[in-house]
Amino acid sequence: MLYLFSYSDLNHSLFIFLALFFVLFYEAINGFHDTANAVSTLIYTRAMPTNLAVIMSGIFNFLGVLLGGLTVAYAIVHLLPNDLLLNNNSQHALVMIFSILCAAILWNLSTWYFCLPASSSHALIGAIIGVGLTNAIITGSSLVNALNISKILNVFLSLILSPIIGLIISGSLIFLLRYITSKYKKFNRIHMTPLEHEKKEGKKHPPLSIKIALILSSIGVSYAHGANDGQKGIGLIMLVLISIIPASFLINLDASKKEINYTKSALNHLYKYYSNNNINIIKKYNKKLHLNYSEIVKNVEKTQILLNNVDDYNILNIKKRFQLRHFLLCISDDIDQINSFNINKDEKIFLYQIKKNILRTIEYAPVWIITIIAFSLSVGTMFGWKRIVVTIGEKIGKKRMTYAQAMSAQVTATFSIGIASYTGIPVSTTHILSSSVAGAMLADGDRIQKTTTKNIIIAWVLTLPISILLSGVLYWIALSLIE
């Protein structure tokens, strides 16, 4: 990690340090902002002591980051167009990074202060969009080309649909549990609140089987949160390093000879596929694709030439590293476009695997980055969690959560976030868990507190536009000061 500060003067090294510090600070805020999603149900059902629940959540958030992969991380990186990300002016790159981070941090701290479980993901994505749009306005370029529109649309769709899905699935689980317990009366205790259970049976803590189920589902939420939100931190650090120190981070300079050969082999297979299927591709897709077929093939050929006799990426000069990254991203986009059409299943699987092997070169993260993000998220998890816990545990419903409601919300959140992490979709843990709690309570016929619900919805609705505006204004002001 220390080698980051050996390439530049003292001021540049200081800016790199500050940028990394801001990312880690953002991730720590994310930790205590979202910890409530995993521990609130445990605390309010008395399944585990508060401090132990928070420590457990921190540990499994840490493991989630370490083992969660990088698909979500690069969904964040690819939100910015390559031209903006790889701005040759290091001052502009620093301004862009600090504008994004400051906007996301300010909104997260504001919603935390007012005890609102708003989305850290929304804030981050909105901040990235704000910088992209402002850059387009300042440079006079097309707003359509200012951002990676296809990636942003996918992210927007997931952010809108995920809370709705959470509400429906959680409510459905309650109906399922009601059906089961109607046949097996001995399980009726699962529909009690902790106070009702204590009053009826004189026991403060839930039955052992329910307690284990609540703890396991809470572990699942913590792990899934680490795997999804932790990756966003990894993506942020890679975004910082690629934009500020491109020579070292444009491509994976630590790639082994075997990994480089994977990329070469994938390019060779892709070239053969295009060559053997060129007539079909021209007939089926060329009118619909925005790229000329010959350009698609040329990108592969240029990349093959660039990698000819290369067994170590360190021998490539900075210009060739830029070219390699550009060509690989273009090839990946071409594959996505072809895969979006009605080709057979075997071809889709083939192209998916080819894309995966091609992107090994540019979608990576050093172990030290993954480790410090995991540490920041887990440390943040253990501080500042109480304000949001109270909102989720006490202020969504008119009465306290039952064991069944807590379990349904956590199981829903675990699987929803886990699937999103696996598929590379950055979703909001806060949105999914809060909507799952509301869905479980509504399915049980419990009334929702209108004031709290209204405030949460307002925060959700305002997060994107405010973070877009905030980062855009910060970016514009900072650029005005340095020019």
- Please state at what angle helix 149-183 crosses helix 120-139, rounded to 10 degrees: 160
176 & 241 share domain: yes
> Is the predicted pLDDT of residue 470 greater than 90, yes or no?
yes
Residue 179 is assigned to a structural domain of this protein:
yes
Last residue of a domain, one of 338, 361, 384: 361
Per the structure, the count of domains in the chain is 2
- Does residue 4 lie in a domain region? no
Shared-domain flag, residues 238 and 319: no
- Bigger pLDDT: 287 vs 252: 252
Same domain, 158 and 38: yes
pLDDT of residue 423: 73
| 187-215 pLDDT, tens digit each | 777 877 777 777 777 777 788 888 888 88
Taking Cα atoms as reference points, which of 147, 216, 124 lies closest to residue 428?
A: 124
Alpha helices in 309-425 (DSSP H): 318-339, 345-358, 367-381, 386-394, 403-423
Which amino acid, one-letter code, is at 424?
G
Q: Are residues 33 and 62 in the same domain?
A: yes
Within-domain flag for 1: no
Instruction: For residues 90 and 273, give the distance between their C-alpha atoms in angstroms, rounded to a whole number.
Output: 40
Tell me: do 324 and 415 sit in the same domain.
no
- Does 195 share its domain with 101? yes
pLDDT at 395 over 50: no
448 pairs with which residues across the strands?
A: 397
Q: What are phi and psi of 448, to 5 degrees?
A: -95, 140
Interval 134-175: pLDDT, tens: 888 887 776 666 666 666 777 777 777 878 888 889 889 888
Residues 170 and 38 in one domain: yes
Q: Judge contact between 81 and 148, C-beta under 8 A.
A: yes
Distance from C-alpha of 207 to C-alpha of 203, rounded to nearest angstrom? 9
Q: Is the pLDDT of residue 217 over 80?
A: yes
Do 232 and 373 lie in a common domain? yes
Judged against a pLDDT cut of 50, whether residue 397 lies above it is answered with no
Of 326, 361, 396, the domain-final residue? 361
d(CA 390, CA 470): 28
Residue 322 lies in a domain: yes
Spatial contact of 239 and 85, defined as CB atoms under 8 Å apart: yes
336 and 401 in a common domain: no
Q: Which residues, at least 6 apart from 140, have a Cβ–Cβ distance to it below 8 Å? A: none
pLDDT given at position 48:
80
For residue 474, the model assigns a pLDDT of 92
Average pLDDT of the segment spanning 448-476 = 80
Question: Where a domain ends, among 361, 393, 417?
Answer: 361
Compute the residue count for the chain.
Answer: 483
Residues 285 and 420 reside in one and the same domain = no
Residue 192 and residue 274 in one domain: no
Does residue 338 lie within any of the structural domains? yes
Q: Is residue 138 part of a domain?
A: yes
* 8 Å CB contact between 263 and 360: yes
Q: How far apart are alpha carbons 131 and 469 in whole angstroms?
A: 9
Q: What is the DSSP string of 79-91?
A: TS-HHHHT-S-HH
Query: Which residues, in sequence order, are bridge partners of residue 397?
Result: 448
Residue 317 domain-assigned (yes or no): yes
Q: How far apart are CA 418 and CA 427, in angstroms?
A: 10
Across 301-305, 430-434, 468-472, least confident range = 430-434
Burial (0-12, 13-18, 19+ Cβ within 10 Å), 84: buried
Round the average pLDDT of the chain to a whole number and report it: 79
Q: How much is the CA Rg of the chain, to the nearest whole Å?
A: 24
Same domain flag for 382 and 444? yes
449 and 396 in contact (C-beta within 8 Å)?
A: yes
Range of the domain at 385: 10-247+365-482
pTM over 0.75: yes
Assigned domain for 316 exists: yes
